[in-house]
């Protein structure tokens, strides 16, 4: 019985033991980035770990804050990112990137990309809560940002983006409703994280779709070869496909994976806050578990995971709990009645391959 998601609930659901923490002896590191001009307070992290971190070894302060911090009020998103990245990827050196204090004429997300192009040494895993409607961005911008993700992938960085909190999205194109894909979630060079809920919100049970979980098909990027088989299988077997006019079936499909995104406890400005939800919660959780896998890889002399998708799809979701119940939201009209895509066996555009079963995921990703 529990009253909302805490680190203990996460570690129980994803089969983490008290030993599944960083060793503190490697150059392993992770980072979270959010662009809401929110401040992050170390005191909140310390309080969070005092309340919820008693059962596993952890660090109670971040290794580096990139971006000016001030004395303003902490933001829930900034607090959530750090607290769950450092409790899933426990005892691993963590950087926080936030952008308060930027010049008013600067674009926060673009400034973060410049940091990636300027720092020789960067954390291996980055979890980023940022997304815009694909249709609101120029193709020049989208293509160039996609190249920046390739630069990061070539350097072995793992970039995890939240899939978004509007389900399949919805907009009207020349009078007809269509689903509305999100970028950078739709980039073929990042790993996108969707969201789930417990089937029974007060127990650690199996997971079902969180109706807000972003997902769908890009209108800009064609489907990458690594997901051809998985997506074609979904399109040919799903019993609840929306009308084909709502989405671009040949586009890059996302998300790739998922984790719990509903009902989190967060400490912000010294106050424990319940029922916080969004894929910006599931993303640091999944990122923290990948950092633990990197820890094992580094300890055995292997390189970090890097850009995960080709391997993830080759292994067909090995090591992940498949989520097969539930659909996410979309257009509220007669035709689809608010329902976007629905999850199903194997990969689907709501929860990807599913949520992490840590011991099995570790086994499938630690070698080679």
Partner 1 sequence: SYSPEPDQRWMTPPGWVPLGRAAPEEELSLTFALRQQNLERLTELVQAVSDPGSPQYGKYLTLEDVTELVQPSPLTLRTVQKWLLAAGARHCHSVTTQDFLTCRLSVREAEWLLSGAEFHHYVGGPAETHAIRSARPYQLPKALRPHVDFVGGLHRFPPLSSLRQRPEPQVAGTFG
**Catalytically active residues, by annotation:** 77, 81, 280
Task: Name the one range near partner 1 by CB under 8 A: 83-91, 235-243, 307-315, 323-331.
Answer: 307-315
Those residues whose C-beta lies under 8 Å from the C-beta of residue 283, and which sit 6 or more positions away, are: 127, 128, 129, 160, 161, 162, 193, 259
Out of 306, 317, 326, 354, the only residue in the binding site for partner 1 (CB under 8 A) is: 306
Out of 156, 222, 243, 345, the only residue in the binding site for partner 1 (CB under 8 A) is: 156
CA gap 198, 97 in Å, rounded: 30
CB of 118: closest distance to partner 1 in angstroms? 4
CA gap 122, 116 in Å, rounded: 8
Task: Name the one range near partner 1 by CB under 8 A: 62-70, 101-109, 318-326, 350-358.
Answer: 101-109
- Find the DSSP H helices in 216-259: 228-237
Euclidean distance between the first and the last CA atom of the chain, given in angstroms as a whole number: 39
Is residue 365 within 8 Å of 305, Cβ to Cβ? yes
**Is residue 23 involved in binding partner 1 (CB under 8 A)?**
no
**Is residue 273 involved in binding partner 1 (CB under 8 A)?**
yes
CB of 198: closest distance to partner 1 in angstroms? 9
Tell me whether residue 243 is exposed, middle or buried, using C-beta atoms within 10 angstroms of its C-beta: 0 to 12, 13 to 18, 19 or more: exposed
Is residue 61 within 8 Å of 53, Cβ to Cβ? no
Closer by beta carbon to partner 1, 94 or else 163 = 163
CB of 316: closest distance to partner 1 in angstroms? 13
Q: How many CB atoms are closer than 10 A to CB 250?
A: 14
Task: Name the one range near partner 1 by CB under 8 A: 87-95, 134-142, 286-294, 351-359.
Answer: 134-142
**Is residue 174 involved in binding partner 1 (CB under 8 A)?**
no
- Backbone dihedral angles phi then psi of residue 29, each to the nearest 5 degrees: -165, 160
Out of 243, 302, 333, 345, the only residue in the binding site for partner 1 (CB under 8 A) is: 302
CA gap 286, 283 in Å, rounded: 5
Task: Name the one range near partner 1 by CB under 8 A: 14-22, 167-175, 275-283, 287-295.
Answer: 275-283
CB of 239: closest distance to partner 1 in angstroms? 27
Is residue 258 within 8 Å of 323, Cβ to Cβ? yes
**Is residue 74 involved in binding partner 1 (CB under 8 A)?**
no
Q: Please report, as residue ranges, which positions from 316 to 335 form the binding site for partner 1 (by CB under 8 A).
A: none
CB of 45: closest distance to partner 1 in angstroms? 17
**Is residue 276 involved in binding partner 1 (CB under 8 A)?**
yes
């Amino acid at each position: 019985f529990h009253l909302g998601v805490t680190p203990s609930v996460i570690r129980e659901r994803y089969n983490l033991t008290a030993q599944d923490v960083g060793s503190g002896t490697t150059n392993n590191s992770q980072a979270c980035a959010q662009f809401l001009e929110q401040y992050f307070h170390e005191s909140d992290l310390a309080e969070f770990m005092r309340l919820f971190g008693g059962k596993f070894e952890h660090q109670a302060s971040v290794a580096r804050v990139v971006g000016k911090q001030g004395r303003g009020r902490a933001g829930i998103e900034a607090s959530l990112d750090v607290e769950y990245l450092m409790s899933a990827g426990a005892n691993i050196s963590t950087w926080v990137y936030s952008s308060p204090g930027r010049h008013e004429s600067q674009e926060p997300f673009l400034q973060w990309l410049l940091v990636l192009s300027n720092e020789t040494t960067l954390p291996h895993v980055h979890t980023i809560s940022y997304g815009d409607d694909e249709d609101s961005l120029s193709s020049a911008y989208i293509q160039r940002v996609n190249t920046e993700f390739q630069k990061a992938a070539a350097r072995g960085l793992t970039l995890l983006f939240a899939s978004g909190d509007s389900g399949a999205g919805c907009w009207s194109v020349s009078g007809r409703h269509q689903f509305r894909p999100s970028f950078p979630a739709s980039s073929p060079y990042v790993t996108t994280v969707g969201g789930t809920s417990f089937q029974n919100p007060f127990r650690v049970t199996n997971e079902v779709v969180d109706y807000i979980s972003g997902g769908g098909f890009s209108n800009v990027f064609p489907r990458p070869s690594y997901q051809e088989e998985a997506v074609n299988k979904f399109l040919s077997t799903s019993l609840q496909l929306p009308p084909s006019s709502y989405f671009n079936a040949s586009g890059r499909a996302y998300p790739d994976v998922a984790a719990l995104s509903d009902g989190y406890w967060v400490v912000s400005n010294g106050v424990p806050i319940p029922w916080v939800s969004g894929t910006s919660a599931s993303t640091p959780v999944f990122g923290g578990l990948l950092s633990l896998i990197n820890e094992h890889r580094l300890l055995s002399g292997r390189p970090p995971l890097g850009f995960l998708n080709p391997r993830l799809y080759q292994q067909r979701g090995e090591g992940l709990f498949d989520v097969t119940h539930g659909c996410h939201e979309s257009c509220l009209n007669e035709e689809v009645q608010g329902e976007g895509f629905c999850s199903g066996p194997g990969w689907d555009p709501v929860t990807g391959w599913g949520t992490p079963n840590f011991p099995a995921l570790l086994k499938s990703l630690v070698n080679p």
